[in-house]
Amino acid sequence: MERFVDVAPGTRLWVEESGAPDAPALLLVMGAQASGLGWPDELVEPLAASFRVIRYDHRDTGRSTWTFDEQPYPLTALAGDAVRVLDALGVERAHLVGMSLGGMLVQLIVADRPERVLSATLIGTGALSSVPYEHPDGTRTPAEELPGVSPGLLEMWARPVEDRGPEAELERRVEHWRVLGGDRIPFDAAYAREQESRIIAHTGHHHAGTAHARADASGMDRTEALARTRVPTLVVSAPAEPVYPPPHAHHIAQAVHGARLVAIAGMGHALPREVHAPLAAAILDHAGRS
């Protein structure tokens, strides 16, 4: 079932629900500039067998309102949007699953609105914490000195995004997913192309969004709140992650009180077919325990 939810004056978000309406709610929070359809149907379906799964388009993505140039907002506003989606659907508490920027938004909600969270699953993201990372040998690395984005991805992000038409934009997105996926799982260009073609059709245009890259990213540190949270938290460790490479997942698990880790073999910063089954199993197990 699809609907639109008003989250701020002049701002509406596209929202879709799957699964039994009386099942526990599970909210999927996607990354920067990513439509809710970035959560593949093949991943949503097994989750919807047990939960009321909710996915949505952030502001300036998909069918939601694109107004950043007229009404700029900080990244923290996107966490508020997620809570307002739950409000509009009458959901008091939900299991939250966030990927990339979505994982940071989930951390904000865990820290600021823990009463709304049944459990949290964090994928391909970094800790909103300044605590140092403690290595197995006991040495420590300051959070700001943990490994950064891979050089190949940085080079790609440095290129200006020019509108050269729908086909060129589709090819750019496919190549982007090739790099994001890492080097462990063979890249399926046809699958990536199919997914992005569907997202472009869903959005109604092919234009690349840049709002989240330009939004104010200040005020997101939640070191103390995450260190004392009681929200059951699962951190997905992806060995081929090029955006938040190891040991970022282990750092999150140290920064968030009581968090536990699960590794998904071969996973990078993408959701190819090969990770759907193990990722769904990990989410279902964690939410079920909670």
Span 159-180, pLDDT tens digits: 888 888 999 999 999 999 999 9
Q: What pLDDT, on a 0 to 100 scale, did the predictor assign at position 218? A: 97
Please tell me the distance from the alpha carbon of residue 200 to that of residue 248, in angstroms, as a whole number: 31
> What is the DSSP-derived secondary structure letter of residue 91?
-
Contact (Cβ atoms closer than 8 angstroms) between residue 263 and residue 234: no
Answer whether residue 262 is part of any domain. Answer: yes
* pLDDT tens column, 122-164: 999 999 999 999 999 999 999 999 999 999 999 999 988 888 8
* pLDDT tens column, 71-125: 999 999 999 999 999 999 999 999 999 999 999 999 999 999 999 999 999 999 9
Answer whether residue 131 is part of any domain. Answer: yes
Query: E-assigned strands of 151-259?
Result: 233-237
Q: What pLDDT, on a 0 to 100 scale, did the predictor assign at position 283? A: 98
Burial class (CB in 10 A: 0-12, 13-18, 19+), 144: exposed
Q: How confident is the model at residue 191 (pLDDT cuts 50, 70, 90)?
A: very high
Please tell me the distance from the alpha carbon of residue 243 to that of residue 246, in angstroms, as a whole number: 10
Give me the amino acid identity at 120.
Answer: A
Structure tokens at 210: 């840049």
Parallel, antiparallel or unpaired: strands 25-29 and 11-18? unpaired
**186 Cβ partners below 8 Å, 6+ apart?**
none
Burial class (CB in 10 A: 0-12, 13-18, 19+), 39: buried
* pLDDT tens column, 214-265: 999 999 999 999 999 999 999 999 999 999 999 999 999 999 999 999 999 9
Parallel, antiparallel or unpaired: strands 117-123 and 140-141? unpaired
* Domain encompassing residue 272: 2-149+210-289
Answer whether residue 43 is part of any domain. Answer: yes
Parallel, antiparallel or unpaired: strands 233-237 and 2-8? unpaired
Q: Which residues pair with 95 in a beta bridge?
A: 26, 119
Contact (Cβ atoms closer than 8 angstroms) between residue 98 and residue 120: yes
Answer whether residue 34 is part of any domain. Answer: yes
Please tell me the distance from the alpha carbon of residue 267 to that of residue 251, in angstroms, as a whole number: 18
Contact (Cβ atoms closer than 8 angstroms) between residue 36 and residue 60: no
Q: What pLDDT, on a 0 to 100 scale, did the predictor assign at position 170? A: 96
Q: How many domains does the chain have?
A: 1
Q: What pLDDT, on a 0 to 100 scale, did the predictor assign at position 290? A: 84
pTM (2 decimals)?
0.97
Answer whether residue 202 is part of any domain. Answer: no
Answer whether residue 167 is part of any domain. Answer: no
Q: What pLDDT, on a 0 to 100 scale, did the predictor assign at position 161? A: 84
Contact (Cβ atoms closer than 8 angstroms) between residue 51 and residue 290: no
CATH at residue 281? 3.40.50.1820
Please tell me the distance from the alpha carbon of residue 190 to that of residue 178, in angstroms, as a whole number: 11
Answer whether residue 110 is part of any domain. Answer: yes
Answer whether residue 257 is part of any domain. Answer: yes
